[in-house]
Chain A
Amino acid sequence: MKELAIKELLYKMADDLLILGHRNSEWTGIGPILEEDIAFSSMAQDKVGQSWALYKMLQVLGEQEPDTVAFTRNAPQFHSCKFVELPIGEYDFSLVRHFLFDTADLLRFDLLSRSSYTPLAQLATKIKGELKYHTMHANTWIKQLGSVEDEEAFQRMQYALDVALPFALGIFEEGPYEQSLADEKIFAGEVHLKSLWLEKIQETLSKTRLVLGDVSLISPELGGRYGQHTEFLQPLLDEMTEVFKVDPTAEW
């Protein structure tokens, strides 16, 4: 039971990071300014690297090797939330997603850095160190674009926030093992994480003109944790695995 619970936790975190890292890398070469192009790529590399580390941890627990796990599964076998698979859209949406997701992930890995499962606690401490810079970057931009006089920028950011919110709430979809993870002091759970997250994002948003919708009235986009995805994940995976699948036994 305990091992199943840990695996389930690792899979959803790894899948989130891989898919969002992949999405963010799509900005390479086409960002709004060169500096952002470079920043988004750095963060995308961190995310893909973090997912790799989590898949390696799964391998130690008896799962297949990371390349096989990442490059041969289909959408229904992915445990990522729907939020990460959505297309990059315009920069407003990508920034808002970066802000909402990374704030949650920093809190998540902060909790996990105190996990009773030592290998995860150690990795979480390292990941946390990287994520700090991601949220700093996100907060800087949210504060900047969320408080400018420029009406177009403000409208875009507010709209992106409204569109993103139901999906962001889907990050915290509860898994089948919440209780046992909490009992074992491995992970405090999605409900707890969500309340920390709401507080944190409100804190940043309160310094801007942006308004967060009433989350009690919004139905979260759920299902991702159980393999139900939007129409956007499978094409992403088809693209990601295109070369690998030419010959999965080959060394590339």
Chain B
Amino acid sequence: MYGGGNTFEPIKATGLEMEDPAKLAEFEARIERGEKIEPQDWMPNLYRKQLIRMIEQHAHSEIIGALPEGTWITRAPGFRRKLAQMAKVQDEVGHAQLLYSAAETLGKSREDMITDLINGKSKYSNIFNYPAFTWADSTVISWLVDAGAIVNQIANAKGSYGPYCRALDRICAEESFHLKYGHDAVVHLATGTPIQRKMLQEALNRWWTPLMHFFGPPDKMSVHTEILVKWKVKMATNDECRQQFLDMYVPKIWELGLSLPDPKLHKNAETGEWEYTEPDWEEFKRVINGDGPCNAERLAVRRTAEERGAWVRKALLSPKATYVTPLA
């Protein structure tokens, strides 16, 4: 999973004047022609830095994203759901693995990335700083957060960096299963008993603001990142992704007889655009800067996991031991 809105901060100095103009021109021409950039290829420093930051945040989002849903593995109702929930969360961890290795091709080690995560130096998708109180929250995450992630990831898969694009192609294939699973679980609640319906509606109400935040601040409020668009690092604007998400999923939500907590939400028949109440962007900023309902808890869980696993990693580095790759 992934939310794109938090990735890009103002670029203070591009450093482009330091780059070899001929190489830079050739690099840009390759991207223009739709070629992929590979790890050994020449690339400007800014490109490398921005990509590391983006892929790293994406990887962090996958492992942190495994936490709210992971707590429902042990509580999933019935064999079918239990197995699917296990497989789904496992996939997310697998996505983190793929993405960390894509980022490593750019020169930052997995250990350094995880250290930066734990120390709060690098970010992850804001949405995982909200709690999953009930089973219904978990189903809403599986359906709609994964749906949002797909919108984002399909766009990014058309970007210019080869290893990231290939990782995203594999990830998107798995995400589409998550979406089906999440949708099926939501439909069961929506068409179930009054208790189930109530549980689902409440979860949807809780997740609506984080979902609207998911794609990041509106374009008019966002930093300008023309160069990243030109280099095919940033593939779609926040508003484009949000519109696409609303267009695909709001009708499906309404079809299930569910409501959304925004009376203004509707599609403008003339413009074809969705109109809505702006979610509270101050809240978004607060949460992204560390002050959300679960930021501290998520990082604490991750930190504890790293500490508890430290002896294993240390033992594997032991000079006398021959490293054996785990089979799975």
Contacts and interface: CB of A to CB of B under 8 A. Distances in A.
Given A29-B70, A91-B309, A149-B319, A70 B79 contact: yes
A62 interface: no
B78 A153 contact: no
B73 interface: yes
B18 to A, nearest CB: 36
A240 B74 contact: yes
A34 B97 contact: yes
The 8 nearest A-B residue pairs measured at CB: A32-B309, A153-B315, A39-B328, A32-B312, A41-B90, A252-B77, A30-B305, A29-B66
A140 interface: yes
Given A29-B66, A140-B326, A152 B86 contact: no
Interface string A45-72: 1001100100000000000001100110
Interface in B63-92: 63, 66-67, 70, 73-79, 81-83, 86-87, 89-90
Nearest to B100: A34
Contacts of A52: 79, 83
Given A38-B97, A152-B315, A243 B76 contact: yes
Given A240-B75, A243-B76, 18 more contacts: A28-B66, A28-B73, A28-B93, A29-B70, A31-B305, A32-B308, A32-B309, A34-B100, A35-B326, A36-B312, A39-B326, A48-B79, A137-B327, A140-B327, A143-B324, A145-B312, A243-B135, A247-B193
18 contacts: A29-B63, A30-B301, A31-B93, A35-B326, A39-B327, A41-B89, A48-B79, A66-B79, A144-B315, A144-B316, A149-B320, A149-B321, A150-B321, A152-B315, A153-B312, A156-B311, A244-B78, A252-B189
Given A34-B96, A39-B326, A250 B301 contact: no
A242 B75 contact: yes
A134 to B, nearest CB: 9
Given A29-B66, A41-B86, A239 B74 contact: yes
Given A145-B315, A150-B318, A251-B188, A28 B326 contact: no
Nearest to B66: A29
Interface in A132-164: 133, 136-137, 140-141, 143-145, 147-150, 152-153, 156
Contacts of A156: 311
Contacts of A32: 305, 308-313
Contacts of B66: 28-29
Contacts of A190: none
Contacts of A31: 93, 305, 309
A44 B328 CA distance: 12
A113 interface: no
A22 B321 contact: no
A140 B83 CA distance: 26
Interface string B209-246: 00000000000000000000000000000000000000
A107 to B, nearest CB: 20
Interface in A1-52: 22, 25-26, 28-39, 41-45, 48-49, 52
Contacts, number: 164
Q: Tell me whether chain A's interface is mostly helix, strand or loop, or mixed.
A: helix
A34 B93 contact: yes
A217 interface: no
A174 interface: no
Nearest to B65: A29
A42 to B, nearest CB: 5
A152 B312 CA distance: 9
A54 B24 CA distance: 63
Contact of A45 (B83, B94, B315): B83
Choose among B75, B189, B314 the residue with the greatest number of A CB atoms under 10 Å from its CB: B75
Contacts of A184: none
B124 to A, nearest CB: 13
A90 interface: yes
Contacts of B328: 35, 38-39, 42-43, 133, 137
Contacts of A26: 73-74
B327 A25 contact: no
Contacts of B82: 48
Contacts of A145: 312, 315
Given A34-B100, A48-B82, A71 B70 contact: no
Contacts of B73: 25-26, 28
A34 B309 CA distance: 10
A44 B90 CA distance: 11
B14 to A, nearest CB: 34
Contact of B321 (A45, A49, A144, A243): A144
Contacts of A42: 90, 328
A89 to B, nearest CB: 10
A71 B78 contact: yes
